[in-house]
Amino acid sequence: MNNSQERTILITGGTGSFGYAFTRKLLQQSSFERIIIFSRDEMKQWEMQAKFEDFSDRLRFFIGDVRDEARLKRAFSGVDVVVHAAALKIVQTAEYNPFDCIKTNIMGAMNVANAAIDSGVKKVIALSTDKASSPVNLYGATKLCSDKVMVGANSYSGDGSSRFSVVRYGNVMGSRGSLLRYLHSLRDGETVTLTDQRMTRFMLDIEDATELVLKVIETMRGGEIVVKKCPTMKVVDVISALRPDSPIKVVGIRPGEKLHEEMVSSAESLRCADLGDRYVIMPPIPLPLSSFTDLQTLVVEEGFSYNSETNPDVMTSSALLSWYRNNLEFLK
């Protein structure tokens, strides 16, 4: 899959839902000889180490924070690929704690980029979110800035020895803090709170999310934002499918919340190519070492927007229930 010289991969925020799933997938393969988990929670690292104790010869753990550039440089020594998943991502928390959200999501991205260039990391893939497209909340705004940092970092790389790309996706089903995990935690018949009956969300399987990142590691050019196509559901339909006997209490939209999510904005349509199972948003600035001329014939119609309200791919309740029953272990 990857270049034979790429033997070590590091995941920032590696003890999160994505980090667990991605590490499990990497351990099932022989692509990387060494996998480094970089995060700031020692208890989560201890639990993860115990979970994957049979693979201790391939796993390493670093305590650290992406706000600490010096620690990142030490951790990046000898690393070939970095997957940057660390972020403060709860929308409401970010609204109340803007300074800290900016320090982690924006300054942290700058630190990762600088440390990667200085340490000779070959590839950096940063995880983004649908909330970074036409953001209305601070979390989305910080992730938009993070995306810009990563795309622009390609022009800081000099000889191009370090390349940077972004993966943007929507709600990962069953991840920590997600709607499905919340519904799973409720007792039968317990009241479910809903902010608005009209709300829709993208629904991405964690397996698809990890596969997308692996694909981008293999194919990335540097400077692109890759968007995985995935189905949509109305939130009220998700609740009805998983908690059919629970009453619903509509509480109104929370600070910074959108009715519908977007992963490609109309402004980005001018440089967005449709590759069938995914969209590739090409960089808005010329990057001398990254060419996208072959994608120009695949650019979508001007004004196109990929959002959860108009997405033609709708997940059915039966498909959701099937996923739910097959992923109860993941939801624990």
Half-sphere exposure of 256 (CA within 13 A, CB side): 19
Q: Is the pLDDT of residue 160 over 80?
A: no
DSSP per-residue string spanning 164-201: EEEEEE-PBTT-TT-HHHHHHHSPTT--EEES-TT-EE
Q: Is the pLDDT of residue 106 over 70?
A: yes
Q: Is the pLDDT of residue 242 over 60?
A: yes
Q: Which two tokens stand for residue 134?
A: 């036409």
Q: Tell me whether residue 138 is in a domain.
A: yes
- Whole-number average pLDDT of the chain: 93
Q: Tell me whether residue 273 is in a domain.
A: yes
Question: Average pLDDT in the 288-297 region?
Answer: 90
**SS3 category, 84:** strand
Q: Tell me whether residue 196 is in a domain.
A: no
Q: Which residue has the higher pLDDT, 232 or 189?
A: 232
pLDDT for the residue numbered 34? 95
pLDDT for the residue numbered 171? 83
Exactly one of 123, 131, 143, 229 is catalytic; which is it? 131
The answer to whether 263 and 309 have CB atoms below 8 angstroms apart is no
229 catalytic per annotation? no
Question: Average pLDDT in the 40-58 region?
Answer: 95
Q: Tell me whether residue 180 is in a domain.
A: no
Q: Is the pLDDT of residue 1 over 50?
A: no
pLDDT confidence of 176, banded at 50, 70, 90?
A: confident
pLDDT for the residue numbered 254? 83
Q: Tell me whether residue 278 is in a domain.
A: yes
DSSP per-residue string spanning 112-141: HHHHHHHHT-SEEEEEEEGGGSS--SHHHH
The answer to whether 12 and 18 have CB atoms below 8 angstroms apart is no
User: Which amino acid, one-letter code, is at 290?
Assistant: S
Q: What is the pLDDT of residues 53-95, one digit of tens each?
A: 999 999 999 999 999 999 999 999 999 999 999 999 988 899 9
The answer to whether 86 and 13 have CB atoms below 8 angstroms apart is yes
Range of the domain at 218: 8-170+204-229+265-304
177: left (phi over 0), alpha (psi -120 to 50) or beta: left
Q: Tell me whether residue 225 is in a domain.
A: yes
Q: How many domains does the chain have?
A: 1
Q: What is the CATH number of the domain that holds 68?
A: 3.40.50.720
d(CA 268, CA 226): 12
The answer to whether 72 and 97 have CB atoms below 8 angstroms apart is no
Q: Tell me whether residue 199 is in a domain.
A: no
Q: What is the pLDDT of residues 208-234, one digit of tens each?
A: 999 999 999 999 999 999 999 999 999
Question: Average pLDDT in the 250-278 region?
Answer: 92
The answer to whether 154 and 113 have CB atoms below 8 angstroms apart is no
Q: What is the pLDDT of residues 110-149, one digit of tens each?
A: 999 999 999 999 999 999 999 999 999 999 999 999 999 9
* Total Cβ atoms within 10 A of residue 72: 26
d(CA 257, CA 244): 25
Max CA-CA distance within the chain?
60
Opening angle at CA 180, ends 179 and 185, nearest 5: 100
**What is the percent of the chain with per-residue pLDDT over 70, rounded to a whole number?**
98
pLDDT for the residue numbered 5? 66
Q: Tell me whether residue 18 is in a domain.
A: yes
